[in-house]
Amino acid sequence: MPRKILVTGATGFVGARLVRRLVDDGHHVKAMVRASSSLQMLRDLPAERLEIVEGDVLMGHTVFRALAGCDRMFHVATLTKFWDPTPGLIEQTAARGTELVMEMAKKRRVSRVVFTSSVATLGVLPREGEMDETQELELSDPAEYVRGKHRAEQIALSAAAHDLEVVAVQPGSIFGPGDWKPTPGGRGVLEFIGWRAPLIDFPVLGGGINGVDVDDVVDGHVRAMERGRSGERYILGGENVTYEQLFNMLAEVTGLPSPGGRLSRGTAELVGKLLELRARLTGREPDFTSHEVRNFGDAYSWVTSKKAEDELGYTHRPLRRALGRAVQWYLANGYVKPADVARVRVDLRVRP
Q: What is the CATH number of the domain that holds 40?
A: 3.40.50.720
pTM score, whole prediction: 0.94
Do 185 and 54 have their domain in common? Answer: no
Give the pLDDT confidence of 254-280 residue by residue, as tens digits.
999 988 777 777 887 887 888 878 878
Residue 309: inside a domain, yes or no?
no
- Domain housing 293: 176-209+241-302+318-350
How far, CA to CA in Å, does 291 sit from each of 192, 244, 296? 22, 21, 9
Structure confidence at residue 328 as a pLDDT band (50, 70, 90):
very high
Strand partners, 239: 211
Do 267 and 201 have their domain in common? Answer: yes
The mean pLDDT value of the chain amounts to 92
Interacting residues of 170 by C-beta distance below 8 A, sequence separation 6+: 117, 118, 119, 121, 122, 133, 153, 233, 234, 235, 236, 303
Judged by average pLDDT, the poorest of 44-53, 212-221, 285-294, 312-321 is 285-294
Percentage with pLDDT > 90 across the chain:
75
> How many domains in the chain?
2
Return the pLDDT at 198.
57
Do 200 and 224 have their domain in common? Answer: no
Give the pLDDT confidence of 20-69 residue by residue, as tens digits.
999 999 999 999 999 999 999 999 999 999 999 999 999 999 999 999 99
The tally of CA atoms less than 13 A away on the side-chain side of residue 133 is 19
Do 204 and 152 have their domain in common? Answer: no
* DSSP letter (8 states) at residue 85: S
